[in-house]
Structure 1
């Protein structure tokens, strides 16, 4: 073989190699783009996947925290009992403040407003009453006024 034939053969092989490499790269990219994801799956970007993994870890931690919180029994508040002495001439505000001070009710003004809404401020009866912090506003009001519970 002479030089010209060798060069021609080498040139042809080089062109064929370049064409084959180009075809292979094009096929790989087009196959990846043309292949739809399997049924029931979706494609996500890597950044989106990473964000989702972090969110999963966040929710797992929240779940564990809630599990721990639920596992620990709630603190029982001590039952507070009070003997309330209502004397002649005491106002509903004075009675409410005594109960708030003894921690039978949380807010004296709220209780006084409750009595006012029911129009029971003038119905408070003189006497000695045993009250606890487990009693609701209605039960306390009914006890110290002598009013019967509303029937609905």
Structure 2
């Protein structure tokens, strides 16, 4: 054999080797793609998987929102009732403190300031009164003073 023939044979073997390697790689990729997923699994593209993850987050958020709505609001505090007896010589501060202790009003000083602003501190009437925690400051003040606010 001469040199030319040897080179031709070597070139031919190289080309055949490259073709065989290419076919093998192509077959393994296509076989992997054609292989069905394991039992109980499905194949999903990456974009579809990302969409599914977003949908999961969306439903988790909806679940949390519904859970918050379903949680019953705290029960309204029980309505407190009080029999208030105002005697001769009692100051508005004393009356306010009695109502605060009975939980009819939240803050005795605030109620006393309200009476002061309306100039009703000296108008508190002696007597017995039925008060509840549902009454507002204005309603309580009107009840114990007998005053009706002026229309603005």
Matches of 1:119 and 1:10, distance apart in 2: 114
* C-alpha deviation, 1:85, in angstroms: 1.2
CA RMSD of aligned residues (A): 3.5
* C-alpha deviation, 1:94, in angstroms: 0.1
Give CA deviations for 1:25-61 in whole Å, capped at 9, x if unaligned. xxxxxxxxxxxxxxxxxx8xx6xx96x5675465234
Q: Kindly tell me the number of residue pairs found equivalent between the two proteins.
A: 126
Distance change (3 Å), C-alpha of 1:55 and 1:113: farther
Of the structure 1 ranges 124-133 and 89-98, higher mean CA displacement relative to structure 2 is found in 124-133
Structure-1 residue corresponding to 2:69: 67
Distance change (3 Å), C-alpha of 1:109 and 1:10: same
Structure-2 residue corresponding to 1:5: 8
Structure-1 residue corresponding to 2:33: none
In the TM superposition, structure 1's runs of 4+ consecutive aligned residues that sit over 3 Å from their partners are: 10-18, 52-58
Instruction: Flag structure 2 segments of 5+ consecutive residues without an equivalent.
Output: 26-46
Matches of 1:14 and 1:149, distance apart in 2: 106
TM-score by length of 2: 0.63
Matches of 1:130 and 1:55, distance apart in 2: 55
TM-score by length of 1: 0.63
Instruction: Flag structure 1 segments of 5+ consecutive residues without an equivalent.
Output: 22-42
